[in-house]
Amino acid sequence: MPKAAEAAAEEPAQSPVTVATPAHPVTPPRKVPKPKTAAERTARVQRILAILDEIYPQATCALHHHNAWELLVATILSAQCTDKRVNEVTPGLFRKYPTIEDFAHAHPAELENEIRSTGFFRNKTKSLIGAARRILGEYGGKVPRTLDQLITVPGAARKTANVVLGTAFGIASGVVVDTHVYRVSRRLDLTKGEDPVKIEQDLMKIIPNDRWILFSHQIIHHGRERCIARKPKCGICPLDPLCYAKDKTLA
């Protein structure tokens, strides 16, 4: 395991250090030049990556965990739920079920009660118990380290698998496409895709492989902090001069 990934597995993920940005006049979309050639598009992507590095230099997963299994649990719970809520639930959950074996033998009704506040608790309970049993039965109690194996685990679709592989093991299996990456990547015209699979494919073509993990975290944090769904905070966004999204907030 790479040292950085090993450290991430041992220590709870901390909030990223975000560099504050002074307010500035917003550039109207029509005044932002669009790239016309492949070279211009590549240069624009490189500039976007450089700016993301400036404002989110230490971006990482916001879900608190101590190992790959806990991260898998937290990521499953995060579906249709905020990371903040998940982080409130998991400390008590992991005290009651400290090992993967405990989850595998959990009483469904009791586990449902523990995770009720995260929503869709019945389906999530089935996924958690199923995931624990699958990993114990098929993978010797160890969370798989390949995408093909991990997506066979209940509750671990491609997005969840990318989160676990990237954050827990430092394996760049793809780009995480959650609701924030979906919104921000389309606003920045990095993709015109309308489904997560197509968006991930588009991003993997233009983002260097060694940036997939960090880029995913940076875009997620950017979507939470600045490029929010309603009335994005364009006046404090360093990407404003490069953004020609039609729904920019001008005032």
DSSP string for 81-127: S-HHHHHHHHHHHHHHS-SHHHHHT--HHHHHHHHGGGS-HHHHHHH
Tell the burial category of 33 from Cβ atoms under 10 Å away from its Cβ (0-12, 13-18, 19+): exposed
Q: Which of 36, 124, 148, 159 is catalytic?
A: 159
Pull the structure tokens for residue 138. 């098929």
Secondary structure class of 228 (helix, strand, coil): coil
Determine the Cα angle at 64 with ends 16 and 111, to 5°. Answer: 155
Residue 83 known to be catalytic: no
Q: Which of 83, 178, 202, 240 is catalytic?
A: 178
CA distance 26 to 170: 37
CA distance 129 to 117: 18
Instruction: Report which of 81, 67, 71, 111 is spatially closest to residue 93, judged by C-alpha positions.
Output: 111
CA distance 62 to 50: 22
Contact 147, 161 (CB under 8 A): yes
Q: Which amino acid is at 242?
A: L
Q: Rounded to an integer, what is the distance from CA 63 to the centroid of its chain?
A: 9
Residue 178 known to be catalytic: yes
Secondary structure class of 54 (helix, strand, coil): helix
Residues catalogued as catalytic: 159, 178
